[in-house]
Amino acid sequence: MSVISTVTVKVPATTANLGPGFDCIGAALKLYNEFKFTRHESGLIIQVSGTEAEKVQTDESNLLYQAFLKLYEFIEQTPPSVKIEIKLGVPLARGLGSSATAIVGGLVAGNVLAGSPLSELQVMELAIAMEGHPDNVVPALLGGCRLAATSRTGWEICDITWHRDIFPVVAIPDFELSTSEARRVLPTEVSRGDAIFNTAHFGLLLRGLATNREEWLRAALQDKLHQPYRQALIPGYDAVETAAVAAGAYGMVISGAGPTLLALTDELHTQAVVTAMTNAWKQAGITSVVRSLPLDIQGAVIL
Ligand SMILES: Nc1ncnc2c1ncn2[C@@H]1O[C@H](COP(=O)(O)OP(=O)(O)O)[C@@H](O)[C@H]1O
Ligand SMILES: N[C@@H](CCOP(=O)(O)O)C(=O)O
């Protein structure tokens, strides 16, 4: 059997939660990180290029490398020595699943170099265990919009229909918010009223995404499990939301743990929503990059 010496994996950004779907739903977006692994003999080398390259660790603590090691630990083999080339397109610690790209990229690349001993399902389970929640890693691996729920034996993954006329707009500010910090502000228990609120709104969101029924989408993008506690970590949140809705968005939510904000709109209003969110944040003293990003449907791809 010939030994595979190099593999390149491209992994999409993801937007998790979509408002009321805390820790269980996420969608892949057309914005990517690319990871090339090459076997070589003389110890670990990590080279990083692209957006905010200087912020990524280039030693053994690198998350991508940690995921690669995890794969070999799981299959009980000694990992090969590798050179890793990282091309960053997904900004770090902004709520667009950069950590999920690293976890998925490291596991998928490791699996290929090892001769593909694990199934996609096994890779997915390892990725969920590493990240601690499924809503980024699942769409990063599989693409599209995905709901993950535990079953008696593991995970059930459900492909969520996303109507083609619903357009995501992401507003990415120039400051970071680590997911661990944004999880620390959350309460460990919630009231029955808040649980009922989210159950109803999440159901409405799923139907709204499938049908593009405007009044359902407008009502659905509300949450009581995480957003009320996190909004204070994102200066200008209310102003950007008001501007996005006034410009024609159905609503606005925090992308993942933030600080990126996600608006959903239709094609006609996309440009107005982009401009409104950019200006509202500018007036609050925050520079941002605001873009309409279509859904990615492929997930992680081996190039
Ligand atoms: N391409 C990468 N290679 C290595 N580590 C990465 C990469 N992308 C992200 N990380 C790690 O993940 C951290 C960001 O994770 P997190 O706080 O969960 O934010 P995000 O919302 O971007 O996933 C970074 O600070 C870095 O440690
Ligand atoms: N459900 C998680 C999602 C975190 O996404 P990220 O892109 O910020 O890593 C949470 O809300 O904490």
The model's pLDDT over 220-247, given as tens digits with 9 standing for 90+, comes to: 999 999 999 999 999 999 999 999 999 9
Q: Which residues does 3 contact at the CB level (< 8 Å), separation at least 6?
A: 39
Read off the amino acid at residue 160: I
Cis peptide before 259 (omega within 30 of 0): yes
Distance CA 145, CA 39 (A): 34
The C-alpha R_g of the chain, in whole angstroms, comes to 19
In the predicted model, what is the mean pLDDT of residues 134-153?
A: 98
User: Does residue 292 sit in helix, strand or coil?
Assistant: strand
Distances (CA, A) of 32 to 15, 47, 254: 13, 17, 20
Atom 12 in ligand 2: residue holding the nearest Cα? 257
CA of 249 from ligand 1 middle (Å) equals 29
- Give the count of alpha carbons within 13 A of 221, CB side only: 25
CA of 182 from ligand 2 middle (Å) equals 8
| pLDDT of 68 higher than 90 | yes
pTM comes to 0.98
CA of 94 from ligand 2 middle (Å) equals 9
User: Is 256 a pocket residue for ligand 1 (Cβ < 6 Å)?
Assistant: yes
Asked if 227 and 254 count as a contact pair (C-beta separation under 8 A), the reply is yes
Predicted ipTM of the assembly:
0.99
End-to-end CA distance of the chain: 21
Residue recorded with tokens 């998790």: 16
Over residues 265-299, the pLDDT tens digits come to 999 999 999 999 999 999 999 999 999 999 999 99
Atom 9 in ligand 2: residue holding the nearest Cα? 97
User: Does residue 48 sit in helix, strand or coil?
Assistant: strand
pLDDT of residue 1: 63
